[in-house]
Amino acid sequence: MKKIFAVAAIAAGVALSGQALAHGAKPKHGGVVQTAGDLSFELVARDGTIHVDDHGKDKPTAGATGTLTVLKGTQKTEWPLESGGNNTLVVKGKAKLEKGRKAVALVSFADRKTVSVRFSVK
């Protein structure tokens, strides 16, 4: 009887772990996806846009502001972020998001929730 419960517990753990890992893992816009808190952020390097999802649904970014910090070795460059409509945040200016760079977005939403998310540009 104990073996049956152990096997059932392991099977349930394996089945549920796949769903947890899949949360926010696939890019929809050709960018790099990372999660922070309950939100998924996709950084699109070609135009410096960040798309925000909340469990598969667009998270409105109206009133959101923030900063995108791009790192290359010891060099650090910062650009302000602003709402681009719907679920997007856009960089004011031209961010150099070349392959191999690291980026950190610090976003403050209109509801005063602040989230920090890190990316590796691929």
Confidence of residue 8 (pLDDT cuts 50, 70, 90): very low
Query: Where in the chain are the domains?
Result: 2-120
Q: Identify the DSSP state of 13.
A: H
Query: CA–CA separation, 16 vs 37, rounded Å?
Result: 19
pLDDT digits (tens, 9 = 90+) for 39-79: 999 999 988 899 999 998 999 999 999 999 999 889 999 99
For the ranges 24-38, 51-65, 86-100, the maximum mean pLDDT occurs at 51-65
Q: What CATH topology corresponds to 2-120?
A: Immunoglobulin-like (2.60.40)
pLDDT at residue number 25: 59
Range list of β-strands (E), the chain: 32-36, 39-44, 49-54, 57-58, 65-72, 75-85, 88-91, 102-108, 114-120
**Average pLDDT of the chain to the nearest whole number:** 83
